[in-house]
Chains A and B, each alone.
Chain A
Amino acid sequence: MADKETVVGPETRISGEVRGEEDLIVRGRIDGRVQLTQTLTVEKGATVQADVDVRHLVVSGTVVGTIVASESVKLTSTARVVGDLASPRVMMEAGAAYRGRVDMGDIAAARAAVSSRAVQRPAASEKLAIHPAPPRMATAAKAVVSGKAAAPVAPAVPAARSTIPAAAVGALGPASPPAFPRVAGAMGAMSPAWAKKKIRRR
């Protein structure tokens, strides 16, 4: 059908919703939501910060968000992924960094959960806050999880996290304001006489 494949180039960013019935290759960046009936390929250097609902997912770059793949997910050695993952087949190569839950069971339930959510919301920060626990590694024979993959998770996560500073700050935001006036008050009460004098002198 499509004479040209769909490519998001390295210097291009899409924010919003992407839907389609063909393969999509991301070399740049997509924020929001991706829904495809075919394969999503996230190449090395690319970032997808989105809820993903596809048939096949191949990640060599960074994905932050909830993933539902109706057939398979493959995380290559350069993949950096944070977010829950539901797919009947999950492959992880040595070197892949992943944090989140893996579910190889009920895809329909996971898909319903994802599709019921609004598009423009920081999925990643919420996931990080709710599920700080290490991933429950898949036990099915199809999943290839190397021993090496577990170790690099910690050093790799800051790289993934660095892509979502705004979201993370947003999550922390509501907690910090009450602290601020209290700190200011304490500072004021504690500020020594010499400090006040200095100010007066100026």
Chain B
Amino acid sequence: MSEKGNGKLPRIGVYICHCGLNIANVVDVEAVAEFAGKLPGVVVAKAYKYMCSDPGLEMIKADIKEQNLERVVVASCSPLLHEQTFRRAIQEGGILNPYLYTHVNIREHVSWVHASEPAKATEKAKALVAAAVRRVSAHKPLERKRVDVNPDVLVLGGGIAGIQASLVLADSGKKVYLVEREPSIGGHMAKFDKTFPTLDCAACILTPKMAQVGNHPNIELLTYSELKEIEGYVGNFKAKVLKKSRHLYLEKCTACGECAKVCPVEIPSAFDENLAKRKATYRPFPQAVPNKFVIERLGYPPCQAACPIHQNAYGYMMMVKEGKFAEALEVVLRDNPLPSLCGWVCTHPCTDTCTRGKVDAPLNMPGIKRFIADHAGDFALPMPKDFKENGKKVAVIGGGPAGLTAAYELRKRGYQVTIYEAAGTLGGMPAITIPDYRLPKDVLKKDTDRIAATGIEVRLNTALGKDVSLSEITKQYSAVFIAVGASKNRRLGVPGEDNSWVLPGLEFLGRVNSGERPNLGRRVVVIGGGLVAVDAARTAVRLGANVTLVCIESWEEMFARRTSEGQKEVEQMKAEGVEVLTRWGPKEFKSGGIELKSVIRVFDESGRFSPQYDETKTRFLECDTAIVAIGQAPDSDLFKSQGLSVTSWGGLDVDPVTLQTNIENVFAGGDVLGPDVVVTAMMAGKKAAESIDRFLNGRDLYEGRELEGPFEGVARPMDLERVERKPAIRMPEREPSVRIKDFADVHSTYSPEDAQKEASRCLMCSICCDCQLCKPACPVEGCIDYSIPDEEIELNVGAVVVATGFKIFDPKRIPSYGYGKYPEVYTSLEIERLVNSSGPTEGKLVMKNGQPPKSVAIVHCVGSRDKNYNEYCSRVCCMYSLKLAHLVHERTGAEVYNFYIDMRTPGKGYEEFYHKLLDEGIHFIRGRVAEITDWAIEPSEKGKLVVRVEDTMAGMVRRIPVDMVILSVGLEPQPDAQDIRRLLKLSCSSEGFFLERHPKLAPVSTVTAGIYIAGACQGPKDIPDTVAQAGAAAGEVLAMVDRGYIELEPIKAHIDAEDCSGCKMCNGLCPYDAITYDKERKVSEINEVLCEGCGTCVAACPSGAIDQDLFENQELLYEIEGVLKYV
């Protein structure tokens, strides 16, 4: 063997381990040693029974001294097990650098896998040893670096594992940050009644520990908080923790519970396994630590988020549900100054997103709002308590929904507002065109009067461009909002349209609305498919005509049917006898009627409105009057004459965010941009008021306006299939044959009882409904504050203990066990709550009908030891099933049947407990349960749940009827365990539990130095094991922290700056964020402290500029040469 560049080989010692018989039984170790002894550079080669034992290590040390060894190779087990042992040994000799060493695995890689082929195994062992000997000659000495350790510790998870670890660490004087995402610590153990096998009460042993955590000077408890980010390395981590807002000040809360008393929200309590309800403001259980409340708000619910003005529909629903009608009005008026108008005619996008709509039918939110306004009768709009005139004047041109809303919003902010309105009354389009049966005039007038009454000057009969010009107005006012709407009728442009019997829709509706009752003749045709056309048709019906509505759209495309409100209008119209003729358009108005032409399409491929007709296919429709209602348009000529710029299709040209026009202090919105509905006009009013206020105070017009306008809301997770069906309560509706005789309202308002019933259908999506009742109820001044934001805090720690726990298996995944289908099938955790004295039944184990069960089945291994779900044994189920069997039997005297595969009761006192249960007369049937069914064959099975099982002891299939079934569900990783894994760079076993660094020798360490695991997040385990493991994790942390420094493995990657091309490819690849780019030198650099030596960058570097200690090119090439030379 020749040596490149270096003539002299180092002196090498090779040691082959028998590992008892583990290796020696297969590999001829003596032959390997003999072979190694002849390899170039090897001065000594020996085999020994246990190389890792003291005599073995002493032998190596002695050889180093006596033979002046410069390199050592040991062929034994996996380096994971003993590489460090041998490195330490050669270092202890004080002679050799520990990295002048190579470890060969001839156990896992050779003897164990080639047990049947000893001869070949021996050859393989020789080849590997040859490779190692060649490799080790190229090794260079490496130095370990020392880094100081931050003694503070982060503990994730406040279950019994986190509690125990925190207490051990804190008692030894370390500062501990305990992060728990629930509002209280305690974890699963807090839910249990008793603990096995001693049957001592879980609360009695847990709550003192919880209290200790709460009071410990060294523990900073961060509940209702979650880890968001963590960076750094062992000894020096930087963690970002999100402290979710409780919407109250923790230090002020006295846990008196007054807030919860007034809270109208009731949702299933997760702590009680959804068997009881809790409020939106709550604490999970009375012994909670910290013993404080939390107001849980998820954000805007779907209804409120979908509403263009973000009307808090959820809030007023809750108030109506509670019968608090005055408070309901208060909630409505917070967002909406036109409650009646919206209650009567809003297109309510809120109902289209209502979660209840996915279950049966959405809530009638406009109907309830109308009820609230109707019920309140006379009231005034609220003005801010600290209202102050600011002396600035703003003009609003147009008194429709947009103008009125803007005027009120500006008035609230202290402006002197003047509304210019062209018509003789306020209200805009709704006042002029919406027929009385849909919106009575006096109802609208109340709304508009209330706005005027807030101190707004109103100038009626003053039209822009006619009575007053924009330039005159801008001279007198600091800012102007234009909301004159879209009042021009669109024309068809077909022959005969100017006949006197052809009426424009808006004009017709306006005439009727002002009290005229024109004679239309017997037959009326309405042309158009929008809501104005529907209004015109229904008005014509009320004038005594036979009406046909003709539209070019198909039934599905019909414009009016695009909103649910419109669909209701169309249905009512049809019920009133209007015939609908779709896919026909007018060709010519001739004497006696209209010639129609057939429609080929309305929209082109890209969905744009672009009707095409078949001029040859026509039909003639006789009529006395035709009403054309094909849409309205803004008056673009008017805008141009006032110096405003206009878009290509005639609307005012404004900034979509700020509604600013080309004139700096003039803003515009509503139908002037193009026809839309009432509530979007109101949104424009709100936006304009905000813009004007910002403009006049010199503030940025754009910042922070993302949440204006509709977006997607949030709903708490719900199993919609299991939500109880509650049919919608309809508003009383007059019969079509009756209502077409007059212009009176089609509906009458809800009775208070019906309104409450309808409101109670609400599913309470976003938990807190923002009714704001709890704030005045709280006896502590300044405790509740809805504006407290979430807070992100940064923690510097030296180590992390992960104790995030488990979740239970969802038995709905096994449909044959009937969970969720049969009410008397429970999970074991549900039973824990039912037998718990502080649980929903105060410890009484009763069925849904209130009676105690006479017979109970406990089904073991649900979701465990089953290849379809989880192959592993969940370890705790046998024992907790025994405990539950005992409790059920003791509390109810019921016959209890345990169905098991194997009873697994290893543990102190566990087997004895099993025998105690056998003596108590609990039945044990060996066999996996096939099915739980309510299918009764025998009369004795009627009304019971039948457990079908193969009794493998008796060798027969049995049917056992019981009253109640308990499913002993297995333990699974937390649903977000993978997020934690990524965050902390851990590994997981195949089932998703966090992986320890070594199953036997490093059970609480992980592959990431400085991060330790404890409890069920590592795998299913019971309380004693969890506590022991938590103690172990704390011990490991202390061992590291108390030393004060850590030694870093010196195996690092290095970048040769000469060769680095600065391509930055390695920067993004590094999983430890250890590589940064030096802009000045234009090269990448590796932070040696962060580098974990994974080698990813080495392989990726296109210019080969990165090398890694112990894996340098020469070392690897020598290793390959070694193998190949032997072969």
Q: Do A and B come from one complex?
A: no
Q: Which residues of B contact A (CB under 8 A)?
A: none
